[in-house]
Amino acid sequence: MAEDWRVTANLHEPDGGRLIRALHSAEVEGEARRQLAGRVAVSGQDSHVFLYADTETAARSARDVVAAVLEEHGIAADLTIDRWHHDEERWEDASSPMPSTATEHHAEHEKLESDEEAESEASDVAAWEVRVELSSHHEAHALAERLEAEGVTCVRRWKYVLVGAGDEDDANALASRLQAEAPAAATVHVEPGSGLAWQLQPGNPFAIFGGLAG
């Protein structure tokens, strides 16, 4: 299962909606696009915006993109990167070491590289996308595992799960099923997915959850 990395923009003013709209229209190309290696979930409002990625490289690339967008739009903010500590179930500063051996680090790196490739390929071909926002990391983890056990390719980012669909009808049918099966507090959205969204807005890898705030 992919790791969880979070970039937090702590805004000096309640400009969360403005930043999210700017990220929604941002174009990311070249090396930054390659390092993002898939979808980055974005949520937040007011004075805090969060971006979730599955590797440190992707998180740091997302931070660089956010920094550039902040500068371009004249928005003041402090940026931090955290990693989810699975044993203690809390966010840790990215600089805090995680207890593991060199062998485990190597195996983890190889697995994440494989996951990145698979998720990037899945994102690039999905014309429509079902996005499920759950109440917790645990619920998202459980849903992603259940879908993968059924052979359904999905991408998990923190408490969000993204599932591709071939067309709008399939996406709506999948959304209805997931809404019925997911916990009551879950919200499900259907919209053009990675492939189509990137055609409509070339180079944009950001999956905005909760709509364009503000």
pLDDT in tens, 14-40: 988 898 888 877 766 655 555 565 678
Whole-angstrom Cα distance, residue 24 to residue 30? 18
pLDDT for residue 172: 92
Chain centroid to CA 87? 21
pLDDT in tens, 68-78: 889 999 999 99
pLDDT for residue 22: 85
In the predicted structure, residue 200 carries a pLDDT above the cut 50:
no
Closest CA to 94 of 65, 58, 52, 56: 56
Considering only residues 190 and 105, tell me which one the structure prediction assigns the higher pLDDT. 190
* Lowest model confidence (mean pLDDT) among 51-60, 142-151, 188-197: 188-197
pLDDT in tens, 97-138: 665 666 655 555 565 555 544 554 444 445 688 889 999 999
Q: Count CA within 13 A, CB hemisphere, residue 51.
A: 32
Whole-angstrom Cα distance, residue 169 to residue 45? 31
Give the largest Cα separation in the chain, rounded. 47
